[in-house]
Amino acid sequence: MTTRTAPLGQPDLAATPGRPFGIYIHVPFCATRCGYCDFNTYTPAELGGANPEGWLAALRTELRLAAEHVGAPLVRTVFVGGGTPSLLGGAGLSAVLEAVRDNFELDADAEVTTEANPESTSPELFATLRDAGYTRISLGMQSLAPHVLAVLNRTHSPGRAPAAAAEARAAGFEHVNLDLIYGTPGESDDDLRRSVEAAVNAGVDHVSGYALIVEDGTALARRVRRGEVAAPDDDVLAHRYELLDGQLTAAGFAWYEVSNWSAPGGECRHNLGYWDGGEWWGAGPGAHGFLDATRWWNIKHPNNYAQALAGDELPIADFEVLGAQDRHTEDVMLRLRLRRGLAMDDLAADERARVPGLVAEGLLDIAGERMVLTDRGRLLADGVVCALLA
Ligand SMILES: C[S@@+](CC[C@H](N)C(=O)[O-])C[C@H]1O[C@@H](n2cnc3c(N)ncnc32)[C@H](O)[C@@H]1O
Ligand code: SF4
């Protein structure tokens, strides 16, 4: 991988005509930090002066500079993530979308998502977001079990996430996602079953299901190290994945990426862009962007991010230009995780020669000219990618 230290603002950041273009906006604020999370987010005590108003002013500048760089691609998707975007409230999130519109042309049919934490939402917030032009809400539910939420340090009551999803539906959101985490220490099969049932009954059209990852440097990692809680067990995680998949499939959802299930038409188009050849600008502290073969990432701390923009400079920390082999590796890694799979033609001859062995092992199916992970292959997706790329 060719990695260079960029003089600020030096990478060539033009959008490629014809490739889908999206904008990711990172909101780096959370009321409290969940013990398992290592995302670039800050509680008020950690901010040292940065605040949502300063962040929004800096974001406006970044979006103006971004538009000057990329040309005028039609924006097909916007994803406001975090952190906790719902802490910005209806007025703040409306201003974020207005800042996008001030600088870019938004497709009439654009998908506009915001993440939200259940405890900072209300029917009024959803109504405001709908009026502002948001089309999709993604809520962090994680679990319905109180003891699981406690281990994860989640602050919402067990029923609040499905209730918030139902409120979003009632406010007119056709597309609503609930994130679930499985494999938390202390979670039982029945806890997961009840969580999935509550998510489905809330009327959502999308569920993301993530195996709990014990990230280095988190409070959860320290608790595991001290022996206070057990690390998630691989066999339990595999069993819970099968349980989640079976229950969602029975409820009319289909997997379209290894960790994502949707009702027909409910796929997240923005995330599909990450996995399947899209380009995007990543705005906000620590956000990553990808255009042509260049990936770059912003300065992480909100104060330093805002300071760079106050000087009318793009707040780029560094970038890398992917060579042909690196791009190929990434394409295989990402596309193979999709239900539509990977085209045979996307593989080199020596890689294609390994496919029959993986089919014989029950890890890949061949569907026409494409290869798709089997149910067993989904449990071992990373291993299948390694075996293909050898
Ligand atoms: C970073 S959060 C942002 C959204 C929002 N703040 C929330 O917590 O709901 C997005 C999702 O990532 C998932 N996530 C974060 N850290 C994780 C970890 N260590 N293991 C598994 N999933 C994780 C959670 O499901 C979470 O809902
Ligand atoms: S999981 Fe969500 S709410 Fe919890 S600290 Fe991470 S970003 Fe914030």
- The Å distance, Cα 34 to ligand 2 centre, comes to 5
Structure token pair of residue 140: 């962090």
Task: Report the pLDDT value the prediction gives residue 5, as an integer from 0 to 100.
Answer: 41
- Per-residue pLDDT of 265-312, as tens digits, reads 999 999 999 999 999 999 999 999 999 999 999 999 999 999 999 999
Ligand at minimal distance from the CA of 141 is 1
Q: CA nearest 115: which of 240, 29, 11, 243?
A: 29
Contact 126, 137 (CB under 8 A): yes
Residue scoring higher pLDDT (150 or 10): 150
From the CA of 211, how far away is ligand 1's center (Å)?
10
Ligand 2 pocket test target in 38, 41, 180 with most atoms within 8 Å of CB: 41
Q: Which residue has the tokens 């489905």?
A: 200
Say if ligand 2 is within 6 A of residue 33 CB: yes
* pLDDT exceeds 90 at position 1: no
Residue 203 has pLDDT above 90, yes or no: yes
Mean pLDDT of 16-38: 96
- Pocket probe for ligand 1: among 115, 160, 229, the residue whose CB has the most ligand atoms within 8 Å is 115
Tell me if 116 CB under 6 Å of ligand 2: no
CA of 82 to the centre of ligand 1 (A): 9
Q: What angle do CA 339, 268, 329 make, to 5 degrees?
A: 50
82 CA closest ligand 2 atom index:
7
Distance between CA atoms of residues 103 and 97, nearest Å: 10
The number of angstroms, rounded, from the C-alpha of 323 to the middle of its chain's C-alpha atoms is 25
Distance CA 281, CA 138 (A): 20
User: Mean pLDDT, to the nearest integer, of 200-204?
Assistant: 98
User: Which atom of ligand 2 lies nearest, measured to the CA of 154?
Assistant: 4
What's the 172 CA to ligand 1 centre distance in angstroms?
25
- Which protein residue has the closest C-alpha to ligand 2 atom 5? 33
Tell me, in angstroms, the distance from the centre of ligand 2 to residue 212's CA. Answer: 13
For 41-65, b/e burial (b = at least 16 CB within 10 A) is bbeeeebeebebebbbebbbbbbeb
Residue 372: name the closest of 338, 334, 349 by CA.
Answer: 338
Q: Is the pLDDT of residue 313 over 80?
A: yes
Q: Is the pLDDT of residue 3 over 90?
A: no
Q: 52-70 and 89-103 are packed helices; what angle lies between their axes, rounded to 10 degrees?
A: 20
Q: Separation of 249 CA from ligand 1 center, angstroms?
A: 23
* Ligand 1 touching residue 273 (CB < 6 A): no
More confident residue, 270 or 47: 270
Backbone φ and ψ of 291, nearest 5°: -135, 130
Q: Which atom of ligand 1 is nearest to the CA of 211?
A: 21
- Ligand nearest to the CA of residue 85, numbered in listed order: 1
Share above pLDDT 90 across residues of the chain, in percent, rounded to a whole number: 93
| pLDDT (mean) for 119-137 | 98
Q: What is the pLDDT of residue 12?
A: 84
Beta bridge partners of 366: 371
Contacts of residue 382, Cβ cutoff 8 Å, sequence gap at least 6: none
Question: What pLDDT, on a 0 to 100 scale, did the predictor assign at position 11?
Answer: 83
With a 6 Å cutoff on the Cβ, whether 158 touches ligand 2 is: no
pLDDT of 73 reads: 94
What separation in angstroms does the CA of 383 have from each of 237, 240, 329, 336, 387? Answer: 16, 19, 13, 11, 6
For residue 33, the ligand 2 atom closest to its alpha carbon is 5
Q: What is the pTM of this model?
A: 0.96
Q: Measured from the CB, is residue 61 less than 6 Å from ligand 1?
A: no
Mean pLDDT of 318-323: 95
Encode pLDDT of 149-162 as tens digits: 999 999 999 999 99
Whether the CB of 140 sits within 6 Å of ligand 2: yes
**Which pLDDT does position 54 carry in this prediction?**
95
- Residue 2 pLDDT: 39
